[in-house]
Amino acid sequence: MKNLRNSRIRRNTRHSNVIVSHIENNLREYLIVSIIFIIGILIGVIFINNLTEVKYQEINSYINNFVESLQENNNISEMSVLKNSLINNLSIGVLIWILSSTVIGIFTVYIIICFKGFCLGYTISALISILGVKSGSIFAISSMLLQNFIAIPCFIALGVSGTRLYKAIMKDRNIENIKNELIGHTIFCIFIFVLIAFSCILEAYISKKIAIYFISSL
């Protein structure tokens, strides 16, 4: 039992070292992609603050109706939430993988990363604007924090992996080397897809219940 526990500790330590080493070796790329994501968040916040009155009222009506439906009826299908979350997130992840596998697609990958940031900034800003700072913040944190704690780093990592592949292709045009880089990129993306799927499960079965618990007190 002790040997098994020590083996698990060594394995976890080895995995942690691989992750730390990966981040350290690609720190510049992580900074660039993270900045692009943050820019997207800021654009989303600015966009909400400059909505026309008609658009603002539409969002106001949508959010209030959604909150009221949660307060009055907690019978929301977890499978429906999971299905929608998987489709939305994995489709974006697969799109990043496909586009980053081409030289010209890397710039589109940056746009997608920025768009993900935009959606996050837009949603949080809308909730705070409509529900108020306290209630909006509580609802945003309870319903979005858990899954995004995993999903956001995953999308950033996909962007970084695509950037690495792009640089490798531009640096070395050898077909065999490009093939190896592409295989490595694909394996890494599959691993990230598994994490994204896990974040979707958290959203459907954990975050939803947390949101319902907190929304009842708003």
Answer yes or no: is 21 within a domain: no
- Whether the Cβ atoms of residue 154 and residue 192 lie closer than 8 Å to each other: yes
Residue 30 has which token pair? 């992580």
Q: Give the pLDDT score at 4.
A: 47
Domain that holds residue 108: 27-215
HSE-up (13 A, CA, CB side) for residue 149: 10
Answer yes or no: is 11 within a domain: no
Number of separate domains in the chain: 1
Degrees to nearest 5, angle at CA 119 with 113 and 121: 105
Region 130-149 average pLDDT: 89
Only one residue has tokens 């439906």, namely: 69
pLDDT at 14 over 80: no
pLDDT band at residue 109 using 50, 70 and 90 as cut-offs: very high
Instruction: State the amino acid at position 211 in one-letter form.
Output: A
Answer yes or no: is 110 within a domain: yes
Round to whole Å and give the CA distance between 9 and 19: 15
Answer yes or no: is 72 within a domain: yes
Answer yes or no: is 108 within a domain: yes
